[in-house]
Amino acid sequence: MPEMSYVLLQHEQGALDFVEMPASHAYQLSALNLRLHKELTKLTADNVPKLPRAIAEFRALELLDEKQSPIGGLQYVNELERTFAAIREGSYPLIALLTEIRALQAQLEQWYEEEDLL
């Protein structure tokens, strides 16, 4: 089994998401999340998403609440891409953010294919 890491995301209301990522790519998701938060305030569209904030990365995860489960990294990035692709932005060059999301998406797809996990 490949080495995995987890990125802990916290929503405004306090809810937590655990995103399971290949250990080699977890930092990229955290960095992307920080960049997206920095740029969200510049968007003028009426449908700007509220993103959870990356607050931690760690290697091992033992969830004690059986109602909780980690979100797959590729699943999370695919949803992030769909969310940002749906933004109706006229002023800010949204394509730069989408390019960053899609680059991580392509890297994850390749990683999962190489690991025969797709």
pLDDT values of the chain reduced to their tens digit, one per residue, 118 residues: 789 999 999 999 999 999 999 999 999 999 999 999 999 888 888 888 999 999 999 999 999 998 999 999 999 999 999 999 999 887 777 888 999 999 999 999 999 999 988 7
Q: Give the per-residue pLDDT at 89.
A: 82
Q: How far apart are CA 73 and CA 94, in angstroms?
A: 22
Q: Give the per-residue pLDDT at 29.
A: 97
Question: pTM for the whole thing?
Answer: 0.92
